[in-house]
Amino acid sequence: MDKQTIKQRFGIIGSSPLLDRAIEIAVQVAPTDLTVFITGESGSGKESFPKIIHQLGARKHGNYIAVNCGAIPEGTIDSELFGHEKGSFTGATDTRKGYFEVADGGTIFLDEVAELPLSTQVRLLRVLENGEYMRVGSSKVFKTDVRVVAATNVNVSKAIEEGKFREDLYYRLNTVPIKVPSLRERKEDIVLLFRKFAADFADKYRMPTLQLNEESRQMIMNYSWKGNVRQLKNVTEQISIIEKDRLITTDILAKYLLDERKSKLPVLYRDQKDSHLSERDLLYKVLFEMRQDVTDLKKLVREIMKDEKVGSVLRNANAQIVHDIDNDPDLANPMDSITPSHTYQAVETEVQNAYVSNTGEYDAVPIQESEVVEESLSLQDKEIELIKRALKKHNGKRKIAAQELGISERTLYRKIKEHKIS
Model confidence pLDDT, tens digit, residues 235-287 = 999 999 999 999 999 999 999 998 765 544 444 444 444 444 456 566 666 77
Tell me, what's the pLDDT at 325? 55
- Tens digit of each residue's pLDDT (9 = 90 or more) over 304-342: 666 555 556 556 666 665 566 556 555 444 444 444 444
Tell me, what's the pLDDT at 335? 44
- Tens digit of each residue's pLDDT (9 = 90 or more) over 352-369: 565 555 545 444 444 444
Tell me, what's the pLDDT at 283? 67
SS3 label, residue 396: coil
Tell me, what's the pLDDT at 324? 60
Average pLDDT over residues 50-70: 96
CB within 8 A of 404, min separation 6: which ones? Answer: 390, 393, 394
pTM: 0.62
Tell me, what's the pLDDT at 83? 96
Give ∠ CA 160-164-166 in degrees, rounded to 5. Answer: 55
Assigned CATH topology for domain 188-263: Helicase, Ruva Protein; domain 3 (1.10.8)
Tell me, what's the pLDDT at 217? 95
Assigned CATH topology for domain 3-181: Rossmann fold (3.40.50)
- Tens digit of each residue's pLDDT (9 = 90 or more) over 358-413: 545 444 444 444 444 455 556 777 788 888 888 888 888 888 888 888 888 888 88
The DSSP line for 49-106 is HHHHHHHTSTTTTS-EEEEEGGGS-TTTHHHHHH-B-TTSSTT--S-B--HHHHTTTS
Tell me, what's the pLDDT at 401? 84
Which run of H or of E encompasses 350? helix 341-359
Tell me, what's the pLDDT at 149? 98
pLDDT higher than threshold 90 for residue 119: yes
Averaged confidence pLDDT in the chain:
83
What residue segments make up the domains of the chain, in order of their start? Answer: 3-181, 188-263, 276-300+376-422, 307-372
> How far is it, in rounded angstroms, from Cα 377 to Cα 375?
6
Tell me, what's the pLDDT at 236? 96
